[in-house]
Amino acid sequence: MAIRAARSAGRIAARHFDERHRLEVHEKAPMDLVTSADIAVERELIEQLMRAYPDYAILAEESGRHDNRKAKGWQWIIDPIDGTANFAHGMPHFGISVALAKDGEVQAGLVFDPLRDELFVAEKGRGAFLNDRRIRVSDETRLAHALLATGFPFRKPKLKEPYLKAFAAMLQQTGELRRAGSASLDLAYVAAGRYDGYFEMRLSPWDIAAGVLLVTEAGGFVTDLNGGNAYLTSGDVVAGSPAMQPQVLDALRAVDLHRVIG
């Protein structure tokens, strides 16, 4: 059902992307955009998911929390367009993210890139797939040869200085760093072995809920900056292959990033 909903919402997103001159764009907060496409895509996702699972709760980026006393711990976590700034500027790199959690633990998730028609899907204990083909994290073992992804904490200006310190340290140790502007796709690309690792701070649950399951089901590791599993609540994520993730985490901890941001 989530796949059908995402594909239907993806058609709406693609249509809005082709007609960007008609977009209504607002600023929720400094550098945090929402467009009429975000609203339309989210509405389609919620309508379809609620029609199929009327008793499930929903946490959505734009409309917030839709609680349901009958949910019994089940909750959809939705990001209608992850990469809104890219979308609004005509950059064809954004994803639709849908996850299903039970008592706060993600059980299934998908990230859909409607422009490339790439559907990343994972179910707990059943592996991760890209368009029905099983995917695995990369086998790169050397940080100096790794291609890593990251994102800037633009919503938290006070974090810019410690983050830039960590960014500079990582740049000295790794092969390449990318900042593409969509956390859900960054994590999906780690799961598919396109990136060797990924780190970012202060994200929201809808940014990462589906992506972290993709990584773990593809054989990778995901932790917060303290090496724990509180990433959905802290929003701090370090992901990668079993060989790469500990190295990225150690490099970030070496500059005390986990202590600085608290």
Binding residues for Mg(2+): 61, 79, 81-82, 207
Tokens standing for 258?
Answer: 């986990």
Distance CA(221)–CA(215), nearest Å, equals: 7
Residues 6+ apart with CB under 8 A from 172: none
> Does residue 196 contact residue 148 with C-beta atoms inside 8 Å?
yes
Per the CB < 8 A criterion, the answer to whether 122 and 106 are in contact is no
| Cα 61 from chain centroid (whole Å) | 12
Which whole-number Å values give the CA distances from 3 to 6, 83, 96, 222, in the listed order?
Answer: 5, 20, 11, 24
What's the token pair of residue 235? 């929003």
**What are the binding residues?**
61, 79, 81-82, 207
